[in-house]
Amino acid sequence: MTEVRNNWTIEEIAEIYHSPLLDLVYRAATIHRENKDYAEVQISSLISIKTGGCPEDCAYCPQAARYNTGVDVHALMPLHEVVMAAQRAKDGGASRLCMGAAWREVRDNRDFDKVLEMVKAVNSMDMEVCCTLGMLTENQAQRLADAGLYAYNHNLDTSEDDYKRIITTRTYDDRLKTLEHARKAKLTVCSGGIIGLGETEEDRISMLKTLSNLPKHPESVPINALVPVKGTPLADQPRVSVWEMVRMIATARIIMPRTVVRLSAGRTEMTTLEQAFCFMAGANSIFAGDKLLTTPNPAFSDDMAMFELLGLKPREAFKNGRPNEVKEVREMSINEVIG
């Protein structure tokens, strides 16, 4: 069984990343097959519970208020709509629902109280619940955990050296502190990055080093390919090739052997054959459903057909155990919430 390490060097990761592609994929696939459930793929569904109007300046994001991208601003989604979206996702095969809000940070207000109710409701549906809400304090992370949150997503996006070119409204350290707060609340951590931002291969390797040398590896690492959006500063960036995605996935699999590696944004541009290469390289999670927040994504039915062809099967919820027992939460049926 491959050893889990938290002391990778840049040189070691670079040697892995730059190895001949087929050798790299073979090594990653061999490590991936040490897991007896290697054919299982976690299916997550991502919904935007509060869209647009974000004060941040992330150069890739169509939800930033300062960019004219045609994204309509929507207030926080009502609870019953979240529950219905969760049920559609579950019916489509998803075991996890990730709720994203275009906030810079969580604030202790009525909207956060409503998010906590959403977490409780989806948790009661026997689905893993993930949130991506921006920066949060240790106390806010604990409140989410007490409501039944399973995972918190906060991506590093790129390397620390490249970060200021992409985002100036928060620091790299801010992101790491949020991950630390999630850990202290005993939430599982979902954190990865985006390739195709104009970064160098050294930046990609540096980001992977940061993730793999955290005190505990993230339970989920999403690898995203930039989806350029008109109106953002990165609108004219060329799309990355599938082989760059395969290199990132395979390297992540080798240096973080127990982590769920998610083939995330950019799948709409990939053929089934190209996605199969990503699964061979160690990807074992996808986002399913027709949208990722505001960008297109393959439909559930297309993914199920691909799974059947490739001999993959959906991973059940809570495969690695349930989160801390929800405190003072009354079980709610779907009918109660909608009614």
Helix (H, G, I), strand (E, B) or coil at 298: coil
Q: Where are the beta strands (DSSP E) in 69-172?
A: 96-101, 128-132, 151-153
Select which of 96, 131, 183, 190 is catalytic: 190
Q: How far apart are CA 250 and CA 21, in angstroms?
A: 9
Select which of 27, 96, 98, 278 is catalytic: 98
Q: How far apart are CA 193 and CA 157, in angstroms?
A: 4
Q: Is 131 annotated as a binding residue?
A: no
Name the strand (E) or helix (H) holding 111: helix 110-123
User: What are the residues whose beta carbons fall under 8 Å from the beta carbon of 66, sequence distance 6 or more?
Assistant: 57
Select which of 27, 175, 247, 262 is catalytic: 262
Q: Is 58 annotated as a binding residue?
A: yes
Q: Is 278 annotated as a binding residue?
A: no
Q: How far apart are CA 94 and CA 87, in angstroms?
A: 9
Q: Is 190 annotated as a binding residue?
A: yes
Q: Is 110 annotated as a binding residue?
A: no
98 is annotated as an active-site residue: yes
Burial class (CB in 10 A: 0-12, 13-18, 19+), 114: middle
131 is annotated as an active-site residue: no
Name the strand (E) or helix (H) holding 240: none
Q: Is 61 annotated as a binding residue?
A: yes
278 is annotated as an active-site residue: no
Annotated binding site for [2Fe-2S] cluster: 98, 130, 190, 262
Give me the active site residues, please. 54, 58, 61, 98, 130, 190, 262
Annotated binding site: 54, 58, 61, 98, 130, 190, 262
Annotated binding site for [4Fe-4S] cluster: 54, 58, 61
